[in-house]
Amino acid sequence: MITADDLTIPTLGPCEVESPLVAKGRHFVDEAVRVRVKRHIGDAPPETGELSFEEAGPRRKIFFNPAETTAAFVTCGGLSPGLNNVIRSGFLELTYNYGVKRVLGIRNGYAGLNPDSGLEPTFMTQRSVQSIHHLGGTVLGSSRGMHEPAILVDFLEAREIDILFCIGGDGTQRGAHALQKEVAKRGLPKSIIGIPKTIDNDVPYVELSFGYVTALEVAAEVLRGAHVEATGAPNGVGLVKLMGRDAGFIAAGAAIASQEANFVLVPEVPFPLEGPGGFLEVLERRLLTRGHALIVVAEGAGQHLFEAADAERDASGNPRFRDIGAFLRERIKAHFADRKLTVNLKYIDPSYAIRSVPANAWDRILTDRMARAAVHAGMAGKTDAMMGYWNQEIVHVPIAAAVSQDKHMALESDLWNAVLATTGQPDWR
């Protein structure tokens, strides 16, 4: 259970430098301003009381002297719309508003902090970031996996990097936390700030992660096209696999946005495949009555249908899921072949194309807010802190609290109830 102490943000020391933003007439956030964790009256358990986060934003007094500060950005893990927007907005806040003269870009994720990679940081300039917000992907490159924290901190010391902004998902944030522990062990005045990134929207204390809304827009267009394909052939079936390892937010959100899906299969609901009331039987009934069907499946759904086996893991330590899309495609074909029924099935997997597109307007706004809030936190000497988006505010979330839990789609939520309402599928909970 999270306590008030778990939501305390470490600081490097007293903030004694007047912020350059004072001369610009900026509004400042007082350290005493907090944002409630629980949004409804009466939600807080009596034993914990009212829990709250620090509100993000500029502080009147900061820890680092901008003229003597070196900051760096690193992007890790899979791609997401908005990565370049974060880099650009963070750079602009550091240089134009705080007056930081040296901002570095770490190449290819945490690998770029390891001398064995042979990669040197890039020196970022206004020209180098001028147009990157129009591009998908990340201009810095990315990779999965963490390296020995001691080696990476040696790199930070050698390059005199004072603030490191770690942009990535749960694996990246765990790596950032490991870096901070090594920094703290050495007593170094270095700030480690996390900026959460995942189109899966599965980072705790982040109501909407950047890239998620863009992914919904693109995925909804894919679903509309798959629906056209399904309705254009007798017993047409569109089967679309979307990203979502442990959480079905993209599948659910895209289905609601398109209003075309008849089935949404997500990791949170282990649906039955065979037998009365199972997925295949309900799909058959749908085809016999309506002549077409559109199925949306998250990549992490249906893993219970595979034989137990030692799971392989990727470089970030995540289990490699079995291919539920290809599995369902073959099982659907076999089911209808057994019944001597012809189906016209189109299988579409747009997952990696979705995450590589530029950010939409909403995500451009969110990335700008997240990036500038991260800069404010770093310059104020906050550390081991991840930017959260909570109750429509940007807040400071201790990285340790964020990586200590998982975020899943709540099946009692309006989102899942909307899926059930729009699809008409059985409630397999």
What kind and span of H or E run contains 318?
none
- Express as a percent the part of the chain with pLDDT over 90: 79
What is the rounded CA–CA span in Å between residue 46 and residue 58? Answer: 33
What is the rounded CA–CA span in Å between residue 380 and residue 376? Answer: 6
DSSP secondary structure string for all residues of 352-421? HHHTTSPP-HHHHHHHHHHHHHHHHHHHTTB-SEEEEEETTEEEEEEHHHHHTS-----TTSHHHHHHHH
pLDDT tens-digit series, residues 376-404: 999 999 999 999 999 999 999 999 999 98
What is the rounded CA–CA span in Å between residue 183 and residue 318? Answer: 26
Rg (Cα) of the chain, in Å, rounded? 23
pLDDT tens-digit series, residues 2-56: 888 889 999 999 999 999 999 888 889 998 889 988 876 665 555 556 899 999 9
Q: What is the pLDDT of residue 309?
A: 56
User: Is the domain covering 5-209+357-403 a CATH 3.40.50.720 domain?
Assistant: no
| Adjacency order of strands within the sheet including 344-348 | 263-265, 292-298, 236-242, 344-348
Q: Among residues 172, 177, 173, which one has the least CA distance to residue 78?
A: 172
What is the rounded CA–CA span in Å between residue 426 and residue 277? Answer: 8
Q: What is the pLDDT of residue 41?
A: 65
CATH no. for 212-354: 3.40.50.460
- Report whether 194 contacts 172 (CB < 8 A): yes
Residue 319 confidence class, pLDDT cut points 50, 70, 90: low
pLDDT tens-digit series, residues 251-278: 999 999 999 999 999 999 999 999 999 9
Query: Which residues are designated catalytic?
Result: 200
The Cα angle at residue 105 between residues 141 and 366, in degrees rounded to 5: 80
Domain with CATH 3.40.50.460 in the chain: 212-354
pLDDT tens-digit series, residues 121-158: 999 999 999 999 999 999 999 888 788 999 999 999 99
Q: What is the pLDDT of residue 321?
A: 83
Query: Which of 59-68, 204-213, 362-371 is predicted least confidently?
Result: 204-213
pLDDT tens-digit series, residues 100-113: 999 999 999 999 99
Q: What is the pLDDT of residue 5?
A: 86
Three-state DSSP class for 206? Answer: strand
Q: What is the pLDDT of residue 50?
A: 82
Domain with CATH 3.40.50.450 in the chain: 5-209+357-403
280 vs 312, residue with greater confidence:
280
| Adjacency order of strands within the sheet including 102-106 | 34-36, 52-55, 393-398, 385-390, 191-196, 163-168, 70-75, 102-106, 122-123
- Report whether 146 contacts 174 (CB < 8 A): yes
